[in-house]
């Protein structure tokens, strides 16, 4: 699986958009980009995933650059409950049998 | 409610004892996974199973054992051979494995005294 690089921490004001970047410069053509978040002492929560097109769901939007070497997770109106560790993961499936390689992630702190 | 349940949430054991962590899912998923998380770290894969009666070692299987006798259940036994068993254990499942989205349970925090 390709490695990902995320900033260790970010701050965001409540009600504003939170834009979390992720670099995955060695991603290969069959690898998807997944985003999960983990609130302290809970299991990771799936947010969104994509291959090359931008994606949006009720939680967030995922913007993937045209060369697929980086992506941005957007939380359009951050709330205090969005404070968590956010993980960007690339997953090829296939011979990697779906193993998710979680790095250090980005600690997002949403403040009033 | 559909989802993944893990029990118990907190577990304390004495050193040298085996302990079994429960993971159940009612999502009708074929694939199930066990991960371990240490403080401030990402998740590491212990074992995975893509179908009933079959399972494979992940990256850190030593000192652990699993079984997959039923589709909805994937218990993990932490044996006395695991040198540093205190950790947060997470179970996940996905429809078929591979690139299918994995959904996680709430986790079990094991402390070995």
Confidence of residue A101 (pLDDT cuts 50, 70, 90): confident
Q: Which of A43-47, B4-8, B40-44, B89-93 has the lowest mean pLDDT?
A: B40-44
Look-up of token digits 């770290």:
B41
Average pLDDT of the residues of chain B: 92
Q: And the tokens for A85?
A: 């560790």
Contact at CB, B90 and A93, closer than 8 angstroms: no
A105 contact B CB<8A: yes
Determine the distance in angstroms separating the CA of B68 from the nearest CA of chain A, rounded to an integer.
17
Contact at CB, A43 and B102, closer than 8 angstroms: no
Contact A76, A14 (CB under 8 A): no
Determine the distance in angstroms separating the CA of A19 from the nearest CA of chain B, rounded to an integer.
21
Contact B35, B89 (CB under 8 A): yes
A45 contact B CB<8A: yes
Q: Which of B6, B99, B103 sits opposite A93 (nearest CB)?
A: B99
Confidence of residue A92 (pLDDT cuts 50, 70, 90): low
Closest by Cα among B6, B2, B7, B99 to B50: B99
pLDDT digits (tens, 9 = 90+) for B17-71: 999 999 999 999 999 999 999 988 888 999 999 999 999 999 899 999 999 999 9
Contact at CB, A41 and B88, closer than 8 angstroms: yes
Determine the distance in angstroms separating the CA of B99 from the nearest CA of chain A, rounded to an integer.
4
Give the three-class secondary structure for A96: helix
Q: With the CA atoms of A51, A57, A63 and A69 taken in that order, what torsion angle do they form, in degrees rounded to the nearest 10?
A: -30
φ/ψ of residue B89, rounded to 5? -110, 130
């Amino acid at each position: 699986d390709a490695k990902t690089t995320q900033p260790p921490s970010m701050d965001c004001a409540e009600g504003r958009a939170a834009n979390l970047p992720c670099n995955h410069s060695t991603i290969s053509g069959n690898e998807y980009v997944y985003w999960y978040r983990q609130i302290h002492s809970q299991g990771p929560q799936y947010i969104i995933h994509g291959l090359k097109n931008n994606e949006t769901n009720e939680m967030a939007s995922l913007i993937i650059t045209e060369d697929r070497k980086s992506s941005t997770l957007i939380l359009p109106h951050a709330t205090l409950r969005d404070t968590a560790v956010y993980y960007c993961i690339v997953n090829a499936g296939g011979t990697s049998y779906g193993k998710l390689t979680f790095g250090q992630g980005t600690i997002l702190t949403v403040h009033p | 409610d559909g989802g993944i349940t893990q029990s118990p949430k907190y577990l304390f054991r004495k050193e040298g004892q085996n302990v079994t962590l429960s993971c159940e899912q009612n999502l009708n998923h074929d694939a199930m996974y066990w991960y371990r998380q240490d403080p401030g770290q990402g998740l590491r894969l212990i074992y995975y199973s893509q179908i009933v009666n079959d399972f494979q070692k992940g990256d850190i299987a030593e000192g652990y054992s699993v079984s997959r006798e039923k589709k909805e259940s994937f218990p993990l036994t932490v044996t006395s051979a695991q040198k540093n068993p205190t950790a947060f254990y997470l179970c996940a499942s996905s429809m078929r494995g591979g690139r299918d989205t994995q959904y996680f349970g709430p986790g079990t925090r094991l402390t070995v005294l």
